[in-house]
Structure 1
């Protein structure tokens, strides 16, 4: 069954998508080195839902704000970083969920559950994990964080891979990415 991208992505070129990505101003988390550390009492569930002290964070604007402060260190721990403190945040699987993909001008543009747009390529790599029976595809987002492709997005990507080749890999931004778990 052919895939029709949503109207927000359907008419955009890759350059227009890249321009929208560049316009999203994120806090300069990399420049902050707070001495105070602690626990945020927050968790990102495997389905992408954000919770604070066990209760869902319902305001999407709050989730987007927190997502802009998110980092992941080399040990795999996730942190919310402000100029004044660095707080742990539990992440069950991935910090983000990729909810849509569209092929434009040789690139793959993904929409995340936070409405961020990410173009796969050298700085935002696709990674296959899991098993052949239960695969999982992840997209590098920023600051070490990843997005897991939800089922419908994984199927969209598989359709692109089958249309363009043997279904085992895709290309974006001049990079080839395997869709087969190792």
Structure 2
């Protein structure tokens, strides 16, 4: 499970084991168990760059944004809501609600693990439950990381460059695809048609 509000020094210099432990120890509200009636619109919007707005004005308090991010949920129809045990409010999301702004890599080849930190403090290790895909959603190819409950993070351009450089230095993966392994799954960087190879697949 992703963790919100990591230590202020982020993940630079931390081992993947430390990051995994922090992620496992994270506690988030059980939004998936809350089913109040829909109460209307929140007047809030998450821009493509991850900035949160309320009534057209950016929310400048990072702690408040982090708090709101913990009660964000993606609905079955693809929409997003802010939910508590007693109310549910729609929120507009221009692209992905989160942005992955930092990445750490440990190991190589099929033994590699990739950890990411989002701009709201979630720590995520890419793997079978946290897919890393490159898709064109109407504005060019961009990489996305599954964070939790269908919520995704757009991988920031500098982090994408780091991933691309790592992939170029790796031997070809299954079916000769360019990509990276993380936590036992292979993530192909070949475009929107590429998919992950689950653990146990042969490496070429």
Q: TM-score, normalised by structure 2?
A: 0.80
Contact 1:36 1:84 in 2 (8 A): no
- Corresponding residue to 1:24 among 17, 23, 26: 26
**The residue matched to 1:121 in structure 2 has which SS?**
coil
Gap regions ≥5 residues in structure 2: 1-8, 194-204
Pick closer, same or farther for the CA change 1:36–1:91 going to 2, 3 Å.
closer
- Separation (CA, whole Å) in 2 of partners of 1:104 and 1:10: 12
Superposed displacement of residue 180, structure 1: 2.0
- Separation (CA, whole Å) in 2 of partners of 1:36 and 1:10: 40
Flag as ranges the 4+ runs of structure 1 deviating above 6 A.
Answer: none
**The residue matched to 2:78 in structure 1 has which SS?**
coil
- Separation (CA, whole Å) in 2 of partners of 1:74 and 1:127: 20
Pick closer, same or farther for the CA change 1:83–1:8 going to 2, 3 Å.
closer
**The residue matched to 1:155 in structure 2 has which SS?**
helix
- Separation (CA, whole Å) in 1 of partners of 2:189 and 2:73: 25
- Separation (CA, whole Å) in 2 of partners of 1:36 and 1:76: 15
The answer for the alignment partner of 1:156 in structure 2 is 162
Contact 1:27 1:69 in 2 (8 A): yes
Superposed displacement of residue 8, structure 1: 4.1
The answer for the alignment partner of 1:128 in structure 2 is 134
Pick closer, same or farther for the CA change 1:28–1:91 going to 2, 3 Å.
same
Superposed displacement of residue 74, structure 1: 2.5
1:165 aligns with 2:167: no
Contact 2:10 2:117 in 1 (8 A): no
- Separation (CA, whole Å) in 2 of partners of 1:125 and 1:80: 23
Contact 1:97 1:149 in 2 (8 A): yes
Pick closer, same or farther for the CA change 1:10–1:55 going to 2, 3 Å.
closer
- Corresponding residue to 2:57 among 55, 58, 72: 55
- Separation (CA, whole Å) in 2 of partners of 1:14 and 1:39: 39
Contact 1:99 1:153 in 2 (8 A): yes
- Separation (CA, whole Å) in 2 of partners of 1:126 and 1:53: 32
- Separation (CA, whole Å) in 2 of partners of 1:100 and 1:137: 14
Q: TM-score, normalised by structure 1?
A: 0.90
Superposed displacement of residue 35, structure 1: 2.0
- Corresponding residue to 1:40 among 15, 39, 42: 42
**The residue matched to 1:114 in structure 2 has which SS?**
coil
1:179 aligns with 2:181: no
Alignment RMSD (CA, Å): 1.8
